Every structure is written in C-alpha cells, then in structure tokens.
Amino acid sequence: MHSLKWWQTTVFYQIYPRSFADGNGDGIGDFAGMIDRLDYLRDLGVGALWLSPHYPSPNADCGYDISDYTGVAPEYGTLDDFRRFLEGAHARGMRVLLDLVLNHTSEDHPWFRESRSSRNNPKRDWYIWRDPAPDGGPPNNWYSAFGGSAWTFDEATGQYYYHFFFKEQPDLNWRNPDVKQAMWHAVRFWLDMGVDGFRLDAIDTIFEDPNLTPQQSKLSQIEMLRIWRENRPPEETKELWEQFALMFRHQVQQPGLHELMKELRALVDEYPGDRVLIGEGDDIAYYGNGHDELHLVFNFPLMRTNRLTPAWIRANQAERLAALPPGAWPCNTLGNHDVGRMWTAYGDGVHDAALARLHVTMLLTLKGTPVLYNGEEIGMTDLLLERFDQLRDNQAVNLYDAAVNDGIPADEAMRMAAKISRDRCRTPIQWANAPNAGFSPAGVTTWLPVNPNYAQGVNVAEQVGDPHSLLTFYRRLIAARQATPALLEGDYTPLHPNEERYLAFLRTTPEQRCLVALNFTAEPVTASFAPGEDSLLRTIFSTHPRPAGEENPAHLTLAPFEAYIGEILPERQG
C-alpha cells in the first residue's frame, strides 16, 4: 500500500439522511441522529461516508432538487450541526463525501426564480429556454427520464424550459460561464469546510445537444412501460435498452462533458488530503487518462442482472478491468438509493441469508473500492408499499398515473408503482425491535413506513451482540479485508474460467497471495486451487468452520454457499 490513496483502500458507506437516524423525534432522519450513530459506523469498519443530498429542497425528487447548494435542509438541522457531524466523523478516522448535483436545481432555487421572472433577467441564460415549435408545442420530441415531455411551458414568459428529470428540476445551462463560476463557488465552500470529496449525480446529463435534434426511438415511453410490465430479466430486454438509449441519445454524454470533469478535477486537486470525485455513471471514459478526470466511476454493469453468477461476475471483471486506463482504480457496488436492496435484488427466496453473505464477500474482495448502502449490513429488504398515499417517490407517482391512463386497473398500477418506486429501498433504518424500529419514538409517523420485519431480527440491537448475525459478519469481513494487503491492492487473476458452480480468483501483491473461492451452489464443491506443488493455505476468513491448521489447496472442499478467503503460503523448500 506504499503508493495507494485512502480512497483506494477504504470501504465507502452511503447514508440516506432522511432515513438513517431521527435525532429529534419528528419522523425524519437528521444530523443529530447521524452524530449519535458515528460510533456505530466506526465499529462497522467503514472509512468513508457518502451522504445523499442534505441541502434545502422542496423534495420533488427526495432532495435531488436543490434550492441552496451551501445550506442544510431545516429538517436535517443547521450548518453547525453539519460541522459537528463532519468533525465527529474525522475524529473517528472517517472521511465524508457529499452528493453534488450538477445537472439541475430546484425550481425554487433563487437562480431559477430570477431566470423565469422575465426574458431580460440576467440569469435567464442560466437555464435552457426555447421558443415553442411552430404548432405551439414543445421545441422538440425529447422526453424526461421520469416520464412525459422534457419541456415545460412557462405562461409568464411564453417559452419552454428544459428538464431531463422532473419539471421541478430545470437543467442548468453549463455553457454559460457564470453558471460554472457559481457552481465552483459551492464546491469550494464545502472543500474549504473540510469535506473529503463528492459523489457526482447524473453527470451524463449535464449537457444536451444545442441543435435540439429530435430523438428517433421506435418506442414511446408508454410502449416501454408495457414491455417493462412483462418483467423480463435484463439479459432478455436488449431491444428495450437499445431503444431507451436511442430515445435519450441527444440528451446525454454530449460534447463538453469531459472538459468539464477535467476542470472540476483540477479544482479538487488544489486541496490537500487527496479529495475524491466519484461519478454516478459507468462509462470508463470518465476516468480520462487515469489521472485527469474522476477518481472513481461506479461499476454499475455488475448490478444489471437478476442473478449474480460466477460467469456473470467473471465476464464483468474481465471487461471492466481490461478497459481501465493506466492508473485508474475500479469501484464496485451492489446497491444504492435508486435500486432494490441487495438482499431482495439478488436473493432466490430460499437461500437469501447465505447469498447475502456470499455476495458481500465478493464485493469486498474484488479489486477496487467497495461502496455499501446503509441497512445492507443488517439484511434490510425492499418494502413494497400498498397504498398510493404512502408513495414519496414522484417517479412512481408518474408511473402510476401513466399506467392508469393506459387502462391498467388501479390496484395493478399500484403494484407496478410499488415495485419500481425508489421508496422501496429508502425506508428508515431498523435500529431495534421497538416501535418504529427504534428509528423514531413510538407514536410518531415516520416519513416512509418502517419495514415490519424489524420484529423478526432485522435490526441493529438484536444483531450487534450476536456472533452469528449478519451485522457481526459484516464487521468481521470488513476487518479481515482491511488487515489483508492483497485484498486492498493486489492484482486480480480469475481461476477456473468455465466453472459454473463457484467463483475463484487470486489477489496478488509481491508480498502476499490470497485465494478467494465462493461456492454459489447448495452442494459442497471440491476442487484444486494449487498455484504451486508444495503451497499451503492459511484461512483468513470463511463463512463456515474450517479444519484447524493449514490446508492443501490442491484438494479444497467448500461447503454449500461458503465464502472462503485464504492466504497462499510460500512454497516449502525441500
């Protein structure tokens, strides 16, 4: 680890502030609650905390519609509360990253209020305004990613404004240098305070085709919805995703994006302490030459399957690692605030507990920086809401409305909305087997319903002292990873490339070699993993009891769903 940065060797942990810990008893998470849980996070073993947006917002998109880039939402506390959280994290050896939303603001942001006040306002060009088409309709046929047209008509000024997401999230005009200057001011505000970096939201969408070239998808959004209703696995929906890409071709990954990322990287690099940028995007191109754009780019393709198999993981790693430019560092994750929880997304309904352990072991032993999502460590699952009034995700509300308008019965539309709603993975963290799962006091209505499985042991209090709990497993696994140099910095070499039952690979440094072997079946597996005739294995970590002493890698047996990590000892000299 002689030349690695802190962000290459630590485990990242995403906090969804609204659902993490309610410190003042109003049903909403806040900084007081987060401060109270800093020791818990330290004891878990994570080294960096990424906060989803904590800024003032009317919450049309759960905080991703920002009305003040240098403030704190009142429901979360004050700027002084944030400072106490930052200082508390630093005092415990943990870094803090903020969500940086570059593409758009809230319609309530003072910039947009000025922009829409008149065509002559100095901030008019801070957003994307266009005249109506000759027929009086939108300037072109672009869609919003959240449904409907990407254009909203403003009665007061007689023009349309552009929004890739909700109409409450107007896109900034990054071709205006005043916009860039204002946003870089906000970046410096937090870096000056001591924040350790940013996760960059929706970077693909920052620029759009200035010529407003019409999209030419063969499918409408309603037709895509109908295909989606069939619930086919991603591997069988290639045409759907091709049409989706065609639909948004002129709205994403446009010229100017990489130059902007280089400028942001140069700004961040002015600050001491190896501040870091993580991009919400999976394009390898965001690494630039490996040193001049983003430090980390999420490996989202790993997640795009209904079933994690050895073949899927092997293929993903082969493609991903080969594509990295020299000096670039991988970044792997299996969950976040926008997708189903790991337990639900990749379980089989029978062996979910075993698979959860197997999958996180894979995540923490692949080459690169792993990112966890809050609640995974206790096995939190998706919660499918049953009533329309419970929905907080307007994306699901829009889907429900579109489905009903398309003739789908209301009860079926609600089931569809619940399944796609991001609410399902954003429910309050389950701290105890107590009213409201210990997130809020008894009698308080939480902002989203609490998953009732907190009463079945899916809570921190019952797992923290249980040596067999998932929480204890996470703590042990993270500790083992952090204490094993080969797992932090070693090269990745796949073994047995055609094996369907298990995934096996080596992590190797000049000083240490480790074997990782993961049995994805409900049957024991015996195989040879011998890298040399006389080598031996010393168990570092396993989900199952192992024989005492060293083992022979030429004849290693894995229990059903066992996750095994062993150090390959130097060959014995004759």
Provide the annotated active-site residues.
201, 280
Take residue 27 and report the two structure tokens written for it.
Answer: 């049903």
Residue owning tokens 């926008």: 338
Q: Is 124 helix (H, G, I), strand (E, B) or coil?
A: helix
Other CB atoms within 10 Å distance of the CB of residue 496: 17
What is the rounded CA–CA span in Å between residue 269 and residue 258? 16
DSSP secondary structure of 205-223: GS---TT-PPP--SS-HHH
Two structure tokens written together for 30? 């806040």
- Tell me how far apart the alpha carbons of residues 29 and 85 are, in angstroms, rounded to a whole number: 13
Give dist(CA 262, CA 266) in Å, integer: 6
Residues 6+ apart with CB under 8 A from 245: none
Query: CA 221, CA 398: separation in Å to the nearest integer?
Result: 12
Closest Cα partner for 484 from 555, 539, 551, 534?
A: 539
Buried residues in 544-572 as b, exposed as e (16+ CB within 10 A)? eebeeeebebbebebbebbbbbbbbbeee
The CA distance from 431 to 434, in Å, is 8
Encoding tokens for residue 420? 């796609």
User: What's the rounded Cα separation, in Å, for the pair 392 and 406?
Assistant: 22
Residue pair 75/86 in contact (Cβ under 8 Å)? The answer is: no
Concatenate the DSSP letters of all residues of 271-284 into one string: SSS--EEEESS--G
Pick the closest to residue 174 from 254, 92, 87 (CA basis).
254
CA–CA gap between residue 186 and residue 102 (Å, rounded): 11
Asked if residues 372 and 340 have their Cβ atoms less than 8 Å apart, the reply is no
Other beta carbons within 10 angstroms of residue 3's beta carbon come to: 6
Closest CA to 537 of 549, 525, 522: 549
Q: Distance between CA atoms of 480 and 484, rounded to whole angstroms?
A: 6
